[in-house]
Structure 1
Amino acid sequence: MRTFSHKVLDYRLLSHAKTITLCVTTIAAIFFIFSADCVVSKFYLQSSAIEIDEVSDVLQIHSTEKTIKSTVFGLPFRSTQGENKEVLSANQNSLIPPFNVSEEERIEWFRKKIPEFEIFKSNNLSKKFHSRIQTFFDDKCEVQFFMTWISPAESFGRRDFSAMESLFKVHPHGCLVILSGALDSKRGYRMLKPLVDRGFKVTAVAPDLASLVKNTPAESWFNEMKSGNKDPGEIPLAQNLSNLIRLAALFKYGGIYLDTDFIVLKSFTGLRNSIGAQSIDVASKNWTRLNNAVMVFDSNHPLLFKFIQEFAATFDGNKWGHNGPYLVSRVVERVAGRPGYNFTVLPPIAFYPVDWNRIGGFFKKPENQADSRWVKAKLLQLSGETYGVHLWNKQSSRIRIEGGSVMAELISDHCVICTNICNS
């Protein structure tokens, strides 16, 4: 009996020891598996982080190419140029000046943010700016065009692409340079590739602002701004720099500047040293405001020099249009009639046949016979003295193009990649 009891006790102790050993082994195994899983997960996340930018880039490029090929009718015919607050990335959002602060506080903010302003920087690519422009604009260029793009590449949309299409529809042997750091990239190249593949000459070149303004009245202004000694104003500085870039590019190289929300209808080859009136006085027929959305000038033209001089002398980053449309209006009013300035002010029908507060009517389909007759009459009018239509993107970017509208007809008649275009 005692022997049996000892055996039972020994068995229980042995079983208990085995149970403890098994538990310890199991816990150790679980800990090892969990640790290994963490290591693998960490390795996977690190590997993914290396590739995620490339994958994201491919997906966004595919999305953009698909958007370009998709129909423009019945969909929001939108662009984000001029609506910077909606399209800027997180990094660019941080470059929007603070509101409701003193000038001193804003300058202090600007000084801290200057390293983040890519447009102020010169690198190996931007230093080749001049040679790239000269190489691109060769003898085969019938007309040389400039556009600027200050927003992210992903916000370059169908409206902007349609502007390029219309340009090449009318000027198949023209050459277009888009002054843009964002589009001077692999992503930007793929966006432009559908036109390049069809033999049209278009490229994006990151502007070197220091080179552009060198030996102009804006050189000292630029250096002072870059050093953080000037007030950038409440308006995003990139918008105002776009006004300067277009002036400096035309002054250095000559040609035609167009905004990206402009549909070209007629050849510009017969134009020289011209700027368009946005509005006129009905009674006197004299212009009341000019605009810088379209400009045609020879290089080194004295009026361009005056424009750049005015920009540097009167820069104000707090007033919309002060450094753009209002600037060219001020200068032309002062120099009009003076000897040495050879230029033409074209009437609104040339570039601005519809005012900004009436542009919506161009996007609406006709609802009745009277509307249909108006559309036909408007298209007939535009086929005459109109070189193109400024779409006033700030007002029209959210308006949908409707089939049968003036815009639907213009886009349809002036596209070169007309995939899946249909009325809706």
Structure 2
Amino acid sequence: MYALGRNSSVIFSTITIAAVIFIVYEDSVISNDSLQPGVFRAREISGRIQTRVGGQIKSTISHISLLSVQEEIENAGSGSLMGSLKPPVDVTEEQRIAWFRKKLPEFEIFKSNNLTRQFHGRVLEFFSEECEVRAFMTWISPARSFGRREFLGLETFFKAHPHGCLMILSRTLESRYGYGVLKPLLDRKYKVSAVTPDLSFLFKNTPAEAWFDAIKSGNKDPGEIPLAQNLSNLIRLAVLYKYGGVYLDTDFIILKSLKGLRNSIGAQSIDIVSGNWTRLNNAVLIFDMNHPLLFKFIEEFAATFDGSKWGHNGPYLASRIVQRVENRPGYNFTILPPSAFYPVNWNNIGGLFKTPENKGRWRWVNAKLLQLSGETYGVHLWNKQSSRLKIEEGSVMGRLISDHCVICDQIYSS
């Protein structure tokens, strides 16, 4: 495991306080439920006390080649890949299950081969050396959809963790095309690898094993949401449960090292009056191997799976389980405030990509950058809302990327 430590309290200077006040009145980007540094305080949630400590909400409770023998048309193209198999809408559950059974042969991620059988050994070998941080991502979409925006996220991870180890669980990126995507980082000796996961192994001896068997045999309704999205929700839980470390969504810009965090999950929003968190998010998870909260997450996923409700198996799952267990002994974890990973809400992310058009907006950009230099570990880009936005020169995002990239190529064409 990587080095552990406790966050020290952030001491804000007069200029920082002034900047935060400026943002409160001028900020049209940060929504009301985003947290400004210093807002958290001791409070009671459903009869349970949680306390802000150092910006946290405490709860008591050997390189393997990326070249693959798999066909490029399978792995890097836009053909029969799980991410492109969208279930039919406006059909009955029985009709959707029938469609799913017919399409099962096209779901490559379910198939076993030499690469999947080597998965466990490859994970152990990859993390056998000293790693500043051990991190995982998932990529179930076609390799060619892993673009410049996602690559910039990888750059910022290695800027913050030059000796970190990052494994991308992806059948599609473990290909000649995927190797080309990662090669600029590999050439600079950063430790990154795309590895084909063995889902049967990941879910074995967990509450998800029976659920996965039912899915891959076509005996369970996958729901209206593409199954890849919900599989990603489950894979991140299982890989951390079996190996421990950090999970990151690919649409994150990392601003500072995560190595001081342990057994942590971030709040996405709070009630600005009470200071109580109102929703957690699973886009960043930092947990020890075999942590009981991860087991509860996996158990809930399998028991209450609903593939037709957005967020039910992801952020909402994390929120409802934490509410149940946070007062129980043995569940020691930290809830970080929205300023840690979600300082900008999904419906306001676009403002970070725009060039300031007047002096007032330039002041806002400078104040925002000052704010993000405080308690913020990273910024979630909410790719569904921002993926088509260009990073404009002088924007908050442009300046963040420029300060936290390692290759720094084509920032403003991303």
Shift of 1:422: 6.9
| Cα distance in 2, alignment partners of residues 236 and 125 from structure 1 | 25
Identify the match of residue 402 of structure 1 among 354, 367, 392. Answer: 392
Shift of 1:236: 0.8
| Cα distance in 2, alignment partners of residues 316 and 173 from structure 1 | 39
Greater RCO (Cα-Cα under 8 Å, separation 6 or more): 2
Contact 1:96 1:236 (8 Å CA) reproduced: yes
Could you tell me which residue of structure 1 aligns to residue 240 of structure 2?
250
Contact 2:137 2:247 (8 Å CA) reproduced: yes
Shift of 1:89: 3.3
**1:112 to 1:126, Cα distance in 2 relative to 1, 3 A:** same
The amino acid across from 1:413 in the alignment is: D
Could you tell me which residue of structure 1 aligns to residue 40 of structure 2?
none
Equivalence map 1:155-304=2 (5 Å): 155-304=145-294
SS state of the match for residue 360, structure 1?
helix
CA deviations on 1:272-315 (whole Å, 9 max, x unpaired) are 00000000001110100000000100010000000000000000
**1:322 to 1:93, Cα distance in 2 relative to 1, 3 A:** closer
| Cα distance in 2, alignment partners of residues 240 and 353 from structure 1 | 25
Could you tell me which residue of structure 1 aligns to residue 330 of structure 2?
340
Identify the match of residue 390 of structure 1 among 380, 387, 391. Answer: 380
Shift of 1:189: 1.1
Could you tell me which residue of structure 1 aligns to residue 117 of structure 2?
127
Shift of 1:419: 3.3
* 2:345 paired with 1:355: yes
Identify the match of residue 296 of structure 2 among 278, 295, 306. Answer: 306
| Cα distance in 2, alignment partners of residues 212 and 91 from structure 1 | 20
The amino acid across from 1:293 in the alignment is: A
| Cα distance in 1, alignment partners of residues 177 and 328 from structure 2 | 47
SS state of the match for residue 250, structure 2?
coil
Could you tell me which residue of structure 2 aligns to residue 81 of structure 1?
none
The amino acid across from 2:121 in the alignment is: S
| Cα distance in 2, alignment partners of residues 421 and 239 from structure 1 | 27
CA deviations on 1:310-333 (whole Å, 9 max, x unpaired) are 000000000111111111111111
Could you tell me which residue of structure 1 aligns to residue 141 of structure 2?
151
CA deviations on 1:19-41 (whole Å, 9 max, x unpaired) are xxxxxxxxxxxxxxxxxxxxxxx
CA deviations on 1:34-84 (whole Å, 9 max, x unpaired) are xxxxxxxxxxxxxxxxxxxxxx979x99xxxxxxxxxxxxxxxxxxxxxxx
SS state of the match for residue 376, structure 2?
coil
**1:298 to 1:416, Cα distance in 2 relative to 1, 3 A:** same
Shift of 1:109: 1.3
**1:421 to 1:249, Cα distance in 2 relative to 1, 3 A:** closer
Q: Which has the higher helix share?
A: 1
Matched residues, number: 344
**1:321 to 1:184, Cα distance in 2 relative to 1, 3 A:** same
* 2:105 paired with 1:141: no
Contact 1:275 1:344 (8 Å CA) reproduced: yes
Shifted more, 155-164 versus 138-147: the winner is 138-147
SS state of the match for residue 256, structure 1?
strand
Identify the match of residue 99 of structure 1 among 81, 89, 96. Answer: 89
**1:94 to 1:192, Cα distance in 2 relative to 1, 3 A:** closer
| Cα distance in 1, alignment partners of residues 88 and 116 from structure 2 | 29
Shift of 1:423: 10
Shift of 1:418: 1.8
Equivalence map 1:363-382=2 (5 Å): 363-382=353-372
**1:420 to 1:146, Cα distance in 2 relative to 1, 3 A:** closer
Q: TM-score, normalised by structure 1?
A: 0.78
Contact 2:266 2:284 (8 Å CA) reproduced: yes
Contact 1:404 1:423 (8 Å CA) reproduced: no
Gaps of 5+ in 1: 1-55, 62-86
RMSD: 2.1
| Cα distance in 2, alignment partners of residues 422 and 324 from structure 1 | 32
SS state of the match for residue 328, structure 2?
coil
Shift of 1:336: 1.2
Shift of 1:139: 3.1
SS state of the match for residue 114, structure 2?
coil
| Cα distance in 1, alignment partners of residues 342 and 357 from structure 2 | 25
| Cα distance in 2, alignment partners of residues 236 and 320 from structure 1 | 10
| Cα distance in 1, alignment partners of residues 354 and 177 from structure 2 | 33
Contact 1:403 1:423 (8 Å CA) reproduced: no
| Cα distance in 2, alignment partners of residues 327 and 394 from structure 1 | 20
Could you tell me which residue of structure 2 aligns to residue 415 of structure 1?
405
| Cα distance in 2, alignment partners of residues 420 and 306 from structure 1 | 42
Contact 1:274 1:343 (8 Å CA) reproduced: yes
Gaps of 5+ in 2: 1-70
| Cα distance in 1, alignment partners of residues 84 and 413 from structure 2 | 41
SS state of the match for residue 181, structure 2?
helix
